[in-house]
Amino acid sequence: MREFFHFLRDHDGVAHSSTVRGFGVTWHREQRLVEAGVLDRPASRVVRCVAVAPSWRQRCRIATLAPGRGVISHGAAARLHGLDGFADHDRVDLLCHKGAWPGRPGEVITHFSRGLTDADVVDVDGIRVLSVPATLALLAPHGGPERTGRAVAAALRTGWTVEQLRAGALRWRRRGRPGPGALLHALGGLDQASTPSSISSAAAHGSTLRSTTDSVSSSHRSPVHN
């Protein structure tokens, strides 16, 4: 049990039930811990240690462990990647496959796309998150050109290349999806010495080149869980 609670301490207080079983904690023992008020279940097959203070990262972790195989995306992904302009982003953005029925507890903005693949997903401290190129490809319509420009500049500054970001935009480009087009326009002719203001200006111009109806659709419906 000590190892299990050490795991919870290091993972924002939450774990999937399969992880719980891996520590030798049976369902009946888990249930006794829930009845004793040591754990609760914020989502189906997810447990949380009530002694760990709630946090934004905890909400992100719960959202990805809940049913639906969602990944953190958009502004929330930018914050987890440490990109400039999103340190105060307090929403949890979750991207799921079209047709998924995510159990998304708390205030979660759920986006849907047919384009999501495992190649777009990386691990950030055990949380499933869109890669930096995929995050930036979808960011402009939701984050705005100024913050997106700062995020692109931060990505370039930390080692991502224009070619890698361009490949991510091309990978996500679809008719009616404005984010990749805005990123491609912002990257056009830029090099790693470009300033955030020049990139955000280009992103603002690029975002007007396409329809503002993004084919990565979003939902604000209240979650159903437990």
Torsions phi, psi for 7 (to 5 deg): -60, -45
CA–CA gap between residue 194 and residue 187 (Å, rounded):
9
CB atoms within 10 A of CB 145: 22
Alpha-carbon distance of 170 to 177, in angstroms, equals: 11
pTM: predicted TM-score of the whole model, two decimal places: 0.82
Please write the tens of the pLDDT for every residue from 82-127: 999 999 999 999 998 876 666 655 578 888 888 899 999 999 999 9
Residue recorded with tokens 């326009």: 185
Q: What is the mean pLDDT of residues 190-217?
A: 47
> For residue range 116-166, what is the model confidence (pLDDT) as tens digits?
999 999 999 999 999 999 999 999 998 888 999 999 999 999 999 999 999
Which residues fall within 8 angstroms of residue 9, CB to CB, at 6 or more apart?
49, 52
pLDDT digits (tens, 9 = 90+) for 15-67: 999 999 999 999 999 999 999 999 999 999 999 999 999 999 999 999 999 98
Query: Within 10 A of 66 (CB to CB), how many other CB atoms are there?
Result: 24
What contacts 177, CB < 8 A, 6 or more positions away? 138, 210, 214, 215, 216
Place of tokens 């499933």: 128
Q: Angle at CA 72, nearest 5°, toward 212 and 198?
A: 50
Please state whether beta strands 14-16 and 39-43 pair in parallel, antiparallel, or not at all (unpaired).
unpaired
pLDDT band at 1 (very low <50, low <70, confident <90, very high): confident
* Closest by Cα among 141, 131, 127, 12 to 83: 131
Query: Which of 136-140, 176-180, 218-222 has the least mean pLDDT?
Result: 218-222
Q: How confident is the model at residue 194, as a pLDDT?
A: 53
Taking the CB of residue 59, how many other CB atoms lie within 10 A of it? 22
Instruction: Map tokens 């949890």 to a residue.
Output: 92
The domain ranges of the chain are 2-54, 57-206
Closest alpha carbon to 126 in 198, 72, 199, 171: 72
List Cα–Cα distances, 116 to 113, 172, 186, 224, in angstroms: 6, 9, 23, 23
Tell me whether residue 188 is exposed, middle or buried, using C-beta atoms within 10 angstroms of its C-beta: 0 to 12, 13 to 18, 19 or more: exposed
